[in-house]
Structure formats: C-alpha cells, structure tokens
Structure 1
Amino acid sequence: MFKKSLLLFIALTLISCHATKSPIVTTKKAASKNTTYSSRNKKNNTAKPKSRNEVIESTSRTVVTNDIVSNYVLQYKDVAMGNMKTYGIPASIILAQGILESGAGRGDLAVSANNHFGIKCHADWKGDSVRHDDDSSQECFRKYNKVAESYKDHALFLTGKGRYASLFTLDKDDYKAWAKGLRKAGYATDPRYPDKLISYIERYNLGQYDAMVLGTRYIPIENQNTRVVNIESGSEGFYEVQKGDTLYSISKKYNVLVEDLKRKNNLSNNTLSIGQMLKVN
C-alpha cells in the first residue's frame, strides 16, 4: 500500500513539473519576438526622411512630394530616352513636360485620360477625348488608352507641327533653349513655362538622360560651377550669376521668391547678365 502511494505521488509530481515548464518557455519566446519586431519598426519609422510637398499647376492644380516626382522620372525615363533616339527631342524636356503637364502623373487629365502632356484635340485629332477646364471652360483634350500612347503622340505632335520645326535645329543637350523655344512656339501660354521646365530639369538632374543618349559625360547640377560669396562690407550672401541662370532657377536654389530677389536687387525686369552679383540672403 505504501509503495503504491509513493509511486502515485512521484507520478503526480512529474506531471506537475512538465505542465509548468512548457508555457513559460513559449511565453518568453513570444515576448522576445514581439520586442524585436517593435524595435525594428520603430527604427524604420524614425529613419525614414520626410518628403516635401510642392504644388504643380498646369491643366490642373496638383499637390505632390519630391518622392512622387522622382518615382515618375524613374518610371518613364526609358520611354523618354527612346523617344529622344527616335524623334530627336531631349529626354530631359520630355520628362520635364511630363512632370509639369501631368502633375507627375497625379493630375486630372493624367488620371482620367492618360494625357501626360496637356495636348488638346485640335482639328486633326480623330481619337477619344475628354472635356476639361483650361484657358477656356470645358476644352477638348486628347484621351489615350495607355500612357505610352501619350508619350508617342507628344513626339509626333512636336515633329509634325511646322511651328516647332525651329526646335530641331537646337543642340540636343541645350535644354534651356528647348524650354524657351517651346514657349515661343506656342506650346503653353504661361510666361513662366520655360522657367518651370528648367527648374525640374535642374532639380531632378534630368540632363543625365540626354547625356546617356548622346554618349557624353554628365556633371550633376550641384557639382557645376556656382559661387556664393560674402562681400567684405556686409554679411549678406551674394550669388554670382552663371551662364544660363534665370531668376526662377536662382530663387529655387536659395529658397527665395522671385519677387523678393527683384526687390532685394532693385530689378525692374527678369534680365540677368553673367557675372552679375545678386543678393540672395
């Protein structure tokens, strides 16, 4: 009887020990795993840089971040370079127009009609169309089945219209001349259209895609010769105007309004000369 009682006691003790060990080990593993996951997420969230918002205004008003614009460039750079090879339009100009006219792919026409260049119907258009307010109410704009069709039609539009013929006499890497030429030929009514295109090309280094097609060496904008100097008589920063500079490009570089630049420097118009010293601070 005593032996049976002893054996029963030992058996109950072993069962009790086994039952308490298992949950403790499982709980610790789960807690360790959850702690590691939370720390990793916290680290990723704090390390991710913030994107800056900007407003793109063309055929519609679109708020985008610089990440959205960069992703747009990555998505369509190959199409732009292909069109440069085929049609002779600088890839930088194609991408800059795409960014501006489509709101980096987020504008109304881009979303509803895959129209990334704001091209209106005109008399020779036989395809689908949509109505959209622009210079006038409910104007007719071209509609495409795919974005690629919009890029191709943009190239055909420029090469097929006589008023743009002078553009194709310009150097393929002279994006500033192309930007100004587009405005002069009537592509857009906005007087600041060239400055907007130039700003996108320089901020996002779109000229590198022209260089890839042309087989030339590209120097990033931030590494090109620009100088900010301090005048000995004062502490205000001055900028020496370089070839190709505009008030708009300088204003974006130093985060100051064009009107403020003109006021600081007593400028009555937007004309600049190489070597001119401008107050920028």
Structure 2
Amino acid sequence: MIGWFSEADWGLILKKSLTMPFKSLFIFFFLLGLFVNAQTQPAERRITRSEYIEKYKEDAIREMHHSGVPASITLAQGILESGDGNSPLAMYANNHFGIKCHTGWTGKTMHIDDDEKNECFRKYNSAYESFKDHSEFLSSRSRYAFLFELKITDYKGWAKGLKEAGYATNPKYTQLLIDLIEKHNLNQYDNYAKVPTKKLTKSKTTTSVASTQKYKIELHNNIKHIVVRKGDSFYSIAKSFEMNLWQIYKYNDLNENDVIKEGDIIYLQPKRNKAKEDNHIVKKGDTMRSISQQHGIKLQTLYKKNKMIPGTQPQVGQQLSLRKKLK
C-alpha cells in the first residue's frame, strides 16, 4: 500500500496517464500529489488538559508573583478560553485568553470570525507573552481593580468578580472556572504568602501575635505588620515571610523605586477600608501615606473618604475622616 492506493491501483493510474495529453498529464499528477500528501500527513496532535496544566503552570505562577493574579485563575481561564491550548488563536497566535486588539494595540494581529466577522485578536511571539499580557490586561483596567483587594487564595471571589466585571458573557462562566480549579486542584499553585499564626499577647496600642528570630509581628487594626530594622530591604522582608515582592509593595502603597528606612511600618496583609479611630488631626510632616500606614487604612480609601484628589496632601490641622465618607 502507498497512501490509500495498492500496487494494482498505481499500475492502472500509470497506464491511464500514458494516454493523456501533456498539459492534462501535468495537471493530473499535480492534483494527485496534493491528494496523496493530504492523506499521508498525520493530523496535528491535540494536547490534553493535564498536558496543558503541566506545560503552563510555571508561566501562571511566574505571573502570579509579578502581578498578583492567582495562578489557579490564570490556568482555568487559559484552559477555558483556548480549549486546552488547541484553539486556532492559541496554536497560531499564542493567544490563550482570547484578548482582542482594542484601541492602542500596536503588536502583531490575527483576524478570525468570532462574535463578529473578521475580528482582530492580539498575536504574541510566545505563550508566556500571552500570560503576561493577560495579567496586565486585568491590572490596568479600573473595572477589575477590586479583584486585587481579594486574597490570592480566594479563587471563588476572583471567578465571581471576573464575571461581574464583564470579562465574559457566558452566565455560567463563574462556575466553569470554579469547577476547573477544583477538579484539577489548580489552587495548589496559588502559593499564598504564609504569615505566622496568631499567638496573642496584649499591649495598649497593638497586639503582638508572633515572633521570628529577627522580627516581632504585631497586630494593628487587625492587620499583621512589622517594624523595619536596620539593614532591611523589600527583598529580605519578603524572603523572611515567604511572601512575594508585589505583596509587600501593594499592601504598603509602595513601588520598587521607593526606599524603606529603620522604624517604618510594613504590613504583611492588606490594610482595611476603615480605621479603629474616627478621625486624624494632621500634624507637621504627615502625608496621606504616612497616615494610611499609621492607622492601617488603605491609601486609596483614605482619599475617597475625604473627597481628596489622589496625590494631593492634607494641610496641617486638617481633620481627616478614617471611618465615614465626608458628605
């Protein structure tokens, strides 16, 4: 057998070809070659779901460390949106999340029919570029901002929030993500920062909850924090508590260009939307961030409660509300 033809079949084909005009003979063999090639080429192999998870889990974890999007959510969305990596977008454009071009996209593109005919989708040089862009897509759009206030282990909250924020129109999208995560134990990759367990020792202003060889961990406004010691860095603190750098930055309203100094408060968990105290009278040297750190209230929330423009600073003697929004 050669392809679909037996030796006898090939004999008849060759005999027939001897009676054909040259032009017809050329066309005949050209089409025959295409047919045989199509029949003898193996179909492109589809990867399984378990293979997809194994192949891309490191990319999802890497992006979680960088952006704060849970690895379980990234993997579940990738599985769902790309058909386990077998969709045309994933195979030929490395686009695992169905992200369309949108205004401002200057990279490569791929056009396919989707909700509308010939829609524009982003094309990437690698799958990891797609994972990275997915994180940036979520973190750079205000409608998804509330998701980053959730614990990184709260995959159910993330799944529900993505649907509420309009990521997908499928009414079952939340449950589809949750089912995928739980069926394949994807939440094992979320690698949430481990903060020491509570051991209560009361004091007047704060509660000491645990100690390490280097740090005394205290509780203020029900948030675990430490006080920076000489020689500390963002990296050394993150390493000491098995946290990621993005968590240290985010929980303390900092960025990688900021510098910490001895005596600074560093929170190990997200700050709250309200402080224990009702108000704060601004003193010389106070900034909105220092007040936020002092009372354990989120900086963005502090601005909103006092109807101030983010980035502006309060006046000495000004009374700031720490619990209720000013009317």
TM-score by length of 1: 0.51
Cα distance in 2 for partners of 1:184, 1:124 equals: 25
Is 1:122 the counterpart of 2:116? The answer is no
The list of structure 1 runs, each at least 4 consecutive aligned residues, that deviate by more than 4 angstroms after superposition, is none
SS at match of 1:214: coil
SS at match of 2:157: helix
Q: What corresponds to 1:8 in structure 2?
A: none
Cα distance in 1 for partners of 2:55, 2:193 equals: 21
Q: Which aligned pairs between 1:178-257 and structure 2 lie closer than 5 A?
A: 178-210=158-190, 212-215=191-194
C-alpha displacement at 1:213, in angstroms?
A: 4.4
SS at match of 2:110: strand
Q: Structure 1, unaligned stretches of length 5 or more?
A: 1-63, 217-281
Paired residue type of 1:182: L
Q: How many residues align?
A: 151
Decide whether the 8 Å contact of 2:147 with 2:161 is kept in 1: yes
Q: What corresponds to 2:142 in structure 1?
A: 162
C-alpha displacement at 1:139, in angstroms?
A: 1.2
Q: Structure 2, unaligned stretches of length 5 or more?
A: 1-44, 196-327
SS at match of 1:116: coil
Cα distance in 1 for partners of 2:55, 2:194 equals: 21
Paired residue type of 1:118: G
Cα distance in 1 for partners of 2:95, 2:151 equals: 27
Whose helix fraction is larger, Structure 1's or Structure 2's?
1
Is 1:107 the counterpart of 2:108? The answer is no
SS at match of 1:155: helix
SS at match of 1:72: helix
Q: What corresponds to 2:125 in structure 1?
A: 145
Larger radius of gyration: 1
Paired residue type of 2:188: Q
C-alpha displacement at 1:214, in angstroms?
A: 3.3
Relative contact order higher in (CA < 8 Å, ≥ 6 apart): 1
Cα distance in 1 for partners of 2:194, 2:49 equals: 25
Cα distance in 2 for partners of 1:134, 1:185 equals: 21
RMSD between aligned residues:
1.8
SS at match of 1:105: coil
Is 1:68 the counterpart of 2:48? The answer is yes
Cα distance in 1 for partners of 2:49, 2:154 equals: 22
Cα distance in 2 for partners of 1:82, 1:213 equals: 13
SS at match of 1:100: helix
